[in-house]
Amino acid sequence: MNPLLPRSPLETDADLERAREWARTRSAALVDFEENLRLPAVRCTLRVWKDGEELSGLAYVDGYDNLWFDTAPSLALEDDIIAWGETCIRERYAGAGMDATLDCSCLAGDARRIRALLRNGFVEQAARSLHFFRSLGDPIPNCPLPDGFSIRCVQGSGEAPALAALHRAAFGTEHMTVEGRLAIMDAPGYRPELDLVVVAPGGELAAFCICELSEEDPLAGSTDPIGTHPRYRHMGLAKCALSAGLGKLKAAGACTAQLGTSSENIPMQQLARAMGFTCLSEKMWFSKSIPG
């Protein structure tokens, strides 16, 4: 086993750039890194592990209490990183008088990480994250909007409160805040022409699809998340938004598109397959209760 390397916050601009480069070029395990970096409650949890001046590991706990991390393959840092994640949760909920839960995911075939999570007291959950993929060389289904509805790009940060409210309504969650939506819009790879909303006849935002091009591979796009306000469901708006998003990505030069959803979200899986996507991989989720 390798000796434990010390963890530290991002102390210098050089550390920050190394972390960004790691997340951008090496790791699919660090989700929405740039967006999370812009949230103070998440950034304070970001830690790096260094062997001399070389970055050897990186971890943070996002606003949903998910631990994201990656390490150099030759180093056994998982136990220390998991312990750091638990510390973050204890500090986040200190004084709240409640137990909290730390969650972590990994590819279904990642035996090393699965062993690390299990030996640290995590319990496998039933739900999995599914990764869908399609070529943009294949025809994109044409999906006409219902009468009176329209699709447009987001019109700047002034719409962040309405966009955050739409996200909360669509997913039945309180997690998306105005600060969180602004972090998405402030990330380096954000392109407003790929951030789409469906507008109802009266002007209310009814559905959305946030698209982006990969920073490391501009030929690869994504269309995630996609959501519809409960008042406007069963009208095909998500399908229309996804169709428009795929067209925008193709026009921007992308050759492929991907999206993710939960194994419990059957409607989204059906939509993805109807729009030509195929499920390529899945992530397992593990949870651990952290006493308050």
Give tens-digit pLDDT for 189-212.
899 999 999 999 999 999 999 999
Which residues, listed in sequence order, are joined to residue 231 by a DSSP beta bridge? Answer: none
- Residues 6 or more apart whose CB falls under 8 angstroms from that of 257 comprise 133, 134, 136, 220, 221, 222, 223, 246, 249, 277
**Backbone phi and psi for residue 104, each to the nearest 5 degrees, phi listed first:** -155, 150
Q: Place domain 7-129+285-290 in its CATH homologous superfamily.
A: Gcn5-related N-acetyltransferase (GNAT) (3.40.630.30)
Q: CA-CA distance, 196 to 245, in Å (whole number)?
A: 7
Query: What's the mean pLDDT when you consider all of the chain?
Result: 91
146: exposed, middle or buried (C-beta count within 10 Å: 0-12, 13-18, 19+)? middle
Within 10 angstroms of residue 12's Cβ, the number of other Cβ atoms is 8
| pLDDT for residue 25 | 77
Q: Where are the domains of the chain?
A: 7-129+285-290, 139-275
Q: What is the pTM of this model?
A: 0.85
Residue 64's alpha-carbon distances to 12, 93, 137, in angstroms, are: 27, 13, 36
**Right CATH for 139-275 from 3.30.420.40, 3.40.50.970, 3.40.140.10, 3.40.630.30:** 3.40.630.30
- Quote the CA–CA distance of 130 and 259 in Å, as a whole number: 8
Q: How confident is residue 174, by pLDDT bands cut at 50, 70 and 90?
A: confident
Q: Do 175 and 139 contact (CB within 8 A), yes or no?
A: no
At residue 24 the predicted structure's pLDDT band, cuts being 50, 70 and 90, is confident
Token pair 């719409």 in the structure block, residue: 159
* pLDDT of 11 above 60: yes
pLDDT at 27: 66
Q: Tell me what the mean pLDDT of segment 33-60 comes to.
A: 87
Any idea which of 25-39, 71-85, 222-236 has the lowest mean pLDDT? 25-39
Does 139-275 match 7-129+285-290 at the fold level? yes
Are the C-beta atoms of 47 and 84 separated by less than 8 Å?
yes
* pLDDT tens digits for range 266-286: 999 999 999 999 999 999 999
> Could you tell me if 249 and 257 are in contact, meaning their C-beta atoms sit under 8 angstroms apart?
yes
pLDDT exceeds 60 at position 52: yes
Q: Is the pLDDT of residue 290 over 50?
A: yes
- 203's CB contacts (< 8 A; 6+ apart) are none
Query: Taking Cα atoms as reference points, which of 17, 16, 20, 41 lies closest to residue 30?
Result: 20
d(CA 252, CA 160) in angstroms, rounded, equals 24
* Two structure tokens written together for 81: 């990183």
Is there a contact between 33 and 20 (Cβ–Cβ < 8 Å)? yes
Neighbours of 212 (CB within 10 A): 21
Q: What is the pLDDT of residue 4?
A: 55
pLDDT given at position 116: 96
For 105-121, how does the pLDDT look when each residue is reduced to its tens digit (9 = 90+)?
Answer: 999 999 999 999 999 99
Query: Taking the CB of residue 243, how many other CB atoms lie within 10 A of it?
Result: 21
